[in-house]
Amino acid sequence: MSRPVVVATAAAAVVVLVAPYLTGTYYQQLLAQAFLYAIVAVSLDFVWGYAGVPDLGHALWFGIGALSVGHATTVLSDVGLVTEVHGSFGRYALGTLTGVVAATALAAIVARLCLSSRRSNDFYIVVVTLALATAAVTVYDQTPALGGGENGLFGFNLQDVTPLGWYYITAALLAVTVAVALVVVRSDFGLLMRAVRDNAPRARYLGYNDVNVKIGVFTAGAAVTALAGAVFAMMTGVANDGQFGFTLATSMLVWVAVGGRATIVGPMIGAIVMSLAGAKLNEHFPAQWTIIEGALLIAVVVFVPGGLIGPLVRLAGRLLSRRYPPRGRAVVAAPARPDRPAREPGGGRPLIRIRDLVFGYGSLRVLDGVTLDVVAGELLCVVGPNGAGKSTLTSVVTDRRLRSQGDVEYLLPGHRLGDRPAAHQIARAGVGRKFQIPSVFASLTVAEALLLAGRRGAPPSPWRRSATVEVAPAVVDIVRIAGLDGRADTLSSDLSHGLRQGLEVAMAVAARPRVIILDEPTAGLTAHERHDIGQVLEHLRDIGIAVVLIEHDLDFVIRVSDRVVVLHGGRVIEDGPPETVRGSEVVRSAYLGTAVR
Ligand SMILES: Nc1ncnc2c1ncn2[C@@H]1O[C@H](COP(=O)(O)OP(=O)(O)OP(=O)(O)O)[C@@H](O)[C@H]1O
């Protein structure tokens, strides 16, 4: 931590310690509630801001925690009224544990159902979380046995703790939550969360199970929120439908959006300020406050999508960074391994066998019986006119969950892939891919992207922040050729099209692939840069990697390739040495404008 951050943290700690002595019991209670809401806002920021999973019913987890404590500590009559309160500590602990476990289990099920389908998108989880929170209120209100009804459960607060005690307990819980959240989002795992949020397919093709990352973060957020709900119930002795309904869920979104997504500190301040303001204004203008909150959410989303506090935090960070430069990550070449032969054994051996592959989009047949081998230590170029099916072939070979006919057999040493391996499994086994349109992680720097790529799907540490990124010498070459030298700390979103192109090739190579499929890696590069990239590709081929290049530049193809496959109308019409290209009628027609007979 830099000195100003230490000073700011110490000042905040002093204010929090002293504040209750300057106010009365009423404000101590309000602040304690605000701290619990701040915990919820931080957990929602974790889920929505960092992992990109929009949880519109986040209040449900809070309500489950609160209700569970209410149930564990009270006895209900058969019409749903509380008849007795059992205030033993064990019951509060049991209620908290049950609430956290129930919320975690339900969140895991909801996330798995909503996120794991191939066709799922953000819309699924938005609708399902919203519907669940709304349905939960209806079920609760109409089920007296749940303690529902107008007033819900009440009068079961943990009486041994004073308002001042709750103030300090909730402040400590908030401090721990914020500290843990900041460590995790700054760690290597934090990079993966942002990568999955920015560009889930890219993360998947680097070997990461993006769905599991999202499910894990969503579930962790639900658990923390349920814990906050349980403490809220112990403190206030109230559990009712207001704690898991749409109104509170909307307030939570407002706190995060107004505070500034993906900043942790912003949503924390947003929740404290807004919940205090809400508590005061709600006393006098309850109807208007809800409208103000809704209007604020819309205004922020439309006019200041970064939130109100987040940009200030970032601005302060930028100003501070002039005096206290942030610790970037350095990209360094991994030390040479003299024990390793220059060329890996097994050159000439097939690594992927494709047989009679048929694939279509609806009624459009795009691959029509493709058969070819991808061979270790060979530079194979796949050419063909626009729409021939080259990119589709890449997609079907790198993701066997895409419904297709025919066989794709992976013969990658040390890896046994099942019948229909998922994209991240194929990537982990050593098949790397570069997309036709550069696909990078907008909020990651060049070094951070290479760090994730280099791990090839191995889960990164949730607390460690790597200062250096060790990459193979070939990656250093690509970084230099692509002009990324000295840009290790540049955000990918700030790179030009050509630089992103280079970064994506470097990422694919950093993953230490056995097979690398590059879809038009030289698009946007100068003749000189193409020449250099060609040399890197030849080097990869020479160390035993199977390089598959999809290219339109025929001169380049003829110069670098060992073998050329010509695809036309989803069929392989030529498969042989580069001279094949010169003689191919289809290629001539597509590239040189000669009609096909
Ligand atoms: N997601 C999709 N849905 C429907 N049709 C698609 C989709 N993606 C590609 N196609 C169609 O499939 C055919 C093959 O496309 P593909 O991108 O694989 O060709 P390509 O050989 O890579 O072409 P190019 O050289 O222009 O990139 C085209 O007719 C294209 O319009």
Q: What is the pLDDT of residues 323-366, one digit of tens each?
A: 766 667 777 777 665 444 445 555 578 999 999 999 998 888 99
C-alpha of residue 452 to centroid of ligand 1, in Å: 29
Both tokens of 8, joined, read 């700011």
**What are the strands, taking DSSP E only, across 282-349?**
330-333
C-alpha of residue 291 to centroid of ligand 1, in Å: 47
Q: How far apart are CA 132 and CA 303, in angstroms?
A: 30
One domain for residues 419 and 473? yes
* Domain assignment present for 63: yes
- The residue type of 420 is R
**Whole-number average pLDDT of the chain:** 86
Question: What 3-state class would DSSP assign to 48?
Answer: helix
User: 260-307 pLDDT, tens per residue?
Assistant: 889 999 999 999 998 998 887 777 776 777 788 778 878 877 777 777
Residue from 489, 512, 492, 513 nearest 502 by CA: 492
CATH number at 420 reads: 3.40.50.300
User: 412-454 pLDDT, tens per residue?
Assistant: 888 888 778 999 999 999 999 999 888 999 999 999 999 999 9
One domain for residues 317 and 375? no
One domain for residues 71 and 28? yes
* Domain assignment present for 366: yes
Ligand 1 pocket, Cβ-based, cut-off 6 angstroms: 361, 364, 366, 384, 386-392, 436
One domain for residues 193 and 262? yes
* Domain assignment present for 416: yes
One domain for residues 139 and 265? yes
* Domain assignment present for 161: yes
One domain for residues 144 and 265? yes
Backbone Cα Rg of the chain: 29
One domain for residues 291 and 354? no
* Domain assignment present for 336: no
* Domain assignment present for 337: no
Which of 288, 305, 323 lies at the terminal end of a domain, its last residue?
A: 323
- For a mutational test of ligand 1's pocket, the pick from 368, 390, 398, 433, i.e. the residue with the most ligand atoms closer than 8 A to its C-beta, is 390
User: 111-153 pLDDT, tens per residue?
Assistant: 998 888 766 677 888 888 989 988 888 888 888 777 766 678 8
One domain for residues 26 and 97? yes
- Integer CA distances (angstroms), 333 to 15, 206, 468, 536, in order: 47, 20, 10, 15
Q: How far apart are CA 94 and CA 100, in angstroms?
A: 10
- For a mutational test of ligand 1's pocket, the pick from 364, 367, 395, 572, i.e. the residue with the most ligand atoms closer than 8 A to its C-beta, is 364
- The residue type of 555 is D
- At 397, is the pLDDT very low, low, confident or very high (cuts 50, 70, 90)? very high
One domain for residues 306 and 413? no
One domain for residues 507 and 569? yes
CB 309 within 8 A of CB 257: no
Q: Report the number of distinct structural domains present in the chain.
A: 2
pLDDT score for 148: 63
Show the domain range for 24. Answer: 3-323
Residue from 358, 256, 277 nearest 571 by CA: 358
Which of 275, 307, 323 lies at the terminal end of a domain, its last residue?
A: 323
* Domain assignment present for 432: yes
Q: What pTM was computed for the model?
A: 0.88
One DSSP character per residue, 124-186 reads HHHHHHHHHHHHHHHHHHT-GGGT-SSS-EES---TTS-HHHHHHHHHHHHHHHHHHHHHHHH
CATH number at 42 reads: 1.10.3470
CB count within 10 Å of CB 132 equals: 18
One domain for residues 128 and 237? yes
One domain for residues 155 and 276? yes
